[in-house]
Structure formats: C-alpha cells, structure tokens
Structure 1
Amino acid sequence: MERTTRIGVTGHRDLPEPVLECVSTGILDEFSSQAASGPVEAFSALAAGADQLFANLALRSGIPLTAVIPGTDYERGLGGPETRLAYRRLLDACADRVDLPVERTREEAYAAAGRWIVDHTDRLVAVWDGEPARGVGGTGDIVAYASRVGVPVRVLWRPGARRP
C-alpha cells in the first residue's frame, strides 16, 4: 500500500496580482511532483488568499482536501461576503474537517491552526514574501515553526513582488 503524502498550506491573505501565476504554478507543481510517488491529501484553513487558492487547486487536481478550522468565530472574521461564500463552497467540497478547540484570541486560534497543519502534514507550501509575520500566527511564524520541527517547506513568491 502506497503512503499518502499530506501537504499543508500557510500564506498571506492579500496576494498581489503579479504573484498569482507564479504561486499557482508552484502549487500545481508541488501536487504533481508528490503525486508521482503516491496519493496526496491537502490541508488548509480555507482563509482568503493563499489558503483558498491552494484549496481550489487541490480540488481541481482531484486531491482530497481537509479543512482545519481555527477555534474561534472563524467564518465571521474571514472578510467580506465573497470570501465567506468561497469559504462555504470550499468547506462543502472537503473530504474531511477538523474543528480546533476555542482559543482566547483570533490570532491565537490562527496560530494553533497553522501549527496543527504543520504537525499533521509531511510538507508545507508557504505562500510567503519572506517578511516577518504581521501578527501572532502569521505566515512567517508558521514557516519558522515548520523549520524548527523538521517539516520541509516550499516557499512560493515572485521575486520583487510586494504585498499590500
């Protein structure tokens, strides 16, 4: 029986247009290169930006998706109606869902979800500009955590691009 490779994502919510093609190509390459050696599963918190892009590409590639839901009133904090609608659509398409325990603050809940993804996957895709996290549990924090615990990280970003 082939071992399933579990790939998680962390990344920025606001992705500038110039990075979308580069990041999408990198995610698809990660999926196909891992699928060459066996089944793949994808893990995402389904937030706006990198998480939703990753989740959509996983589903389009026929890869089962697991939603990792931070322990907070998550959907309300996701942004506008379009983002929440996309979140619900993705959540409905997931093969599995993990609801994490409630945390004291929204940032702590996001950090816990990022760590959970790292702790339960074999590889991490980071849609990251290389800058420090702008808040607790931001992309930079999750990449640093993955590095500390030995989970391989593939960073995707277009050189020279700046996020808003």
Structure 2
Amino acid sequence: MTTYAVTGHMDLTDETVGLVRNALREVFATHTEGELVGVSCIAAGADSVFAEELLAMGGRLIVVLPSGDYRQAKVKPEHAPTFDRLVAAAAEVVVLPHENANRQAYEAANAELLRRGDRLVAVWDGTPPSGKGGGTADTVELAQAEGLAIDVVWPEGAARRG
C-alpha cells in the first residue's frame, strides 16, 4: 500500500484546477498495489482538489487539520461547503494539538503529512520558498530531505491567480 500526501498552491486559476484534476487522475491511475490512501489538510486549491480526486477514485482520505480553530479561523466562506464535505467523507480526521492556526501549526501539519505519507504529490510551480515557512516549496524541501518520493504536478498551461 502506498499513502500519498499532498502539498500545493491555494491560488490556482479555474482553468488550472481542471488541468490539475486530470494530472492527479493520472498519478492515482498508476497506483496498483492495495488500497489507495491520501493525506491532505484540505485547504482551498490543490489540497482539496487532491482529496476530491482521491475520493472519486475510491480512495481513503485522511484529513490533517493544523489546529483546533482551523475551520473557524482560516476556512473562507466560499471554501466552507467543500471543506465540510471532505471532512465528512474522510476515513480519519486528525486535529493537531495547536489551539491557533499559525505558522507553527502549518509546519506541524506538513510534518504530519510527510510522516504519514510514502510519496508526496506536489501541485507546485517550482517557485522557491517564500521564507514564511509552511508553504508548498518548504514542504517539498522537507520531503526531499527525508528521502520521500515526490510527484510534481504542474501541467502545461497551469497558472496561479494574481
């Protein structure tokens, strides 16, 4: 059994979401041994698209929430229905012991994703770390340091908003 963890950009364009969905289906289609399992923080953007595609392929979703207040403090109204639907569909929901959603909580969540995953799926345009910590590039670097296999998903034509 291979467990896929995900990291990725939140600010995908609408067109990019469709491209990423197709690319994730291709990644999951290569999975042939045992149950398909994925670990995600289900943030808006790549994390949720990954979780939706995993579930659509019959996979088992494990959700890692960075803090006790994550839903109330960080989930925007337009993402709340998707977030709630994915939490309800998850086989397991892990809430880390941080009271507040902050950099420390995000870094801990990324470490937990990598601890639980055998491979990292990175929906990543290749930009270097921002220096703020807890971002996509930071998680990719951590996975590389830990020797985790990484599947970078950034289809031709993909773009970020702004």
TM-score normalised to structure 1 length: 0.89
Counterparts in 2 of 1:105-124, with a 5 A limit? 106-124=102-120
Report the equivalent of 2:87: 91
Q: Distance in 1 between matches of 2:99 and 2:134?
A: 12
- Aligned-residue RMSD, C-alpha: 1.7
Q: Distance in 2 between matches of 1:69 and 1:79?
A: 11
Counterparts in 2 of 1:48-63, with a 5 A limit? 48-63=44-59
Report the equivalent of 1:151: 148
Q: Which one of the candidate residues 25, 50, 57 is aligned to 1:28?
A: 25
Q: Does 1:142 align with 2:136?
A: no
SS of the equivalent of 2:38 reads: strand
Identity %: 38
Question: For structure 1, which runs of at least 5 residues remain unmatched after alignment?
Answer: none
2:7/2:120 contact within 8 Å kept: yes
Q: Distance in 2 between matches of 1:56 and 1:143?
A: 21
Q: Which one of the candidate residues 5, 18, 25 is aligned to 1:8?
A: 5
Q: Which one of the candidate residues 48, 53, 60 is aligned to 1:64?
A: 60
Q: CA deviation at 1:76?
A: 2.5
Q: Distance in 2 between matches of 1:32 and 1:161?
A: 21
TM-score normalised to structure 2 length: 0.90
1:78/1:84 contact within 8 Å kept: no
2:68/2:95 contact within 8 Å kept: no
Residues 44-83 of structure 1: per-residue CA shift (max 9 Å, x gap): 0010000110111111111010100102521123342121
Residues 133-164 of structure 1: per-residue CA shift (max 9 Å, x gap): 33311000000000000111111113464422
Q: Distance in 2 between matches of 1:143 and 1:103?
A: 26
Query: What amino acid sits opposite 1:6 in the alignment?
Result: T
